[in-house]
Amino acid sequence: MFSLNNKRGDLLKKLTYAKSGVDIFKEEKAIKGILSNIKFQRKGIGRPLGGHYAGMIEFGEYALVLCTDGVGSKVKIASEIGKWDTVGIDCIAMNVNDAICVGAEPVAFVDYLAIDDPKEEITKEIGKGLAKGAELSNISIIGGETASLPEIVKGFDLAGTCLAYVKKDEIITGEKIVPGDVILGLSSTGLHSNGYTLARKVIQENGLTYHDKFPDGLYPNKKIGEVLLVPTQIYVKETIELFKKVNVHGLAHITGGGLRNLPRINSTVRFRINNSFEPQPIFKFLQKYGNIENKEMYQTFNMGMGLIIVVPKEDVEKSMKILKSMSESTVKVVGVIEKGSGVYLEKFDLIF
């Protein structure tokens, strides 16, 4: 049975993503270390065209778009409860949701599965999720790689790479974002596929397992592991339709880093979030039993909002109509663009 009085007492020590093992600030510095040694750039076809969530290269009239990502430590929960049929959706979602942020349409995908013991009953279930994610994204899975690495991997790791395309004159970089623009938000399905190292730490420190029910009557009749494995929402179909009819100024996929993702698309304006989503109960559970501060929650998790779209004020009504007609997510106006920089979360008077 669940008890707040675990081996650490009353969890007076606040948990953070860094204390659980993932330091997003250290990670950013490490990425700069990699990039500092990448000097050579191809000319002509294949010439880099920039990008933020996804990279773009010259391809005549079009820009080809590439991005790569994985499922992260969410796969550990899948193995713990023996349910592997949804992590493939996460793998594809984390990639295609990045690709659309430059205005591109995803078309193809390759996966990479590193595993200690390639059992068919596991790989078959992973394949089901990949197939479902491809269907939801309207993309083709054209290949991949499976590596048996018992000396390196304990369990498995799943990642992939997405290919997308966009006409060069239709690329969305975020540079068109100006004060007065409106921020639309699309709800998430839960944690999606980031922050799981911290989430697992909270569960561990409270003496819980993924087979346990939630305390406080949260999610009646559901085990913790089942809720944590709810797959990432895919936002491809509604955004592709929106691109056809609205001059979208910017998009941001809310993943690791939470609201700190927004300045990636434009650092010369301030994103004022004044009508944020009510986070799902899973976030409230993690915050309460991890004793996690508001700022840490909003810079680690999506907190109920998986994608933001910035549009001109005059296009809000049209955009809402399109998104609501095609999206499985809740869609609403969550904020405005102001003069300044960074992100301001009005609800808690927080600046990122």
Domains and CATH numbers, the chain: 43-170 (3.30.1330.10), 175-351 (3.90.650.10)
Q: What is the pLDDT of residues 302-327, one digit of tens each?
A: 999 999 999 999 999 999 999 999 99
Q: What is the pLDDT of residues 229-272, one digit of tens each?
A: 999 999 999 999 999 999 999 999 999 999 999 999 999 999 99
Phi, psi of 262 (to 5 degrees): -60, -45
Q: What is the pLDDT of residues 184-193, one digit of tens each?
A: 999 999 999 9
Residue 294 host element (H or E): helix 294-298
Spatial strand order in the sheet of 48-51:
48-51, 55-59, 62-70, 156-167, 105-115, 140-148
Please return the burial class of 3, using the count of CB atoms within 10 Å of its CB with bins 0-12, 13-18 and 19+.
exposed
CA distance readout (Å), 277 to 318, 327, 330? 21, 16, 9
Residues 6+ apart with CB under 8 A from 311: 181, 182, 184, 246, 247, 248, 249, 319
Is the overall model pTM greater than 0.85, yes or no? yes
Which residues is 35 bridged to in the sheet? none
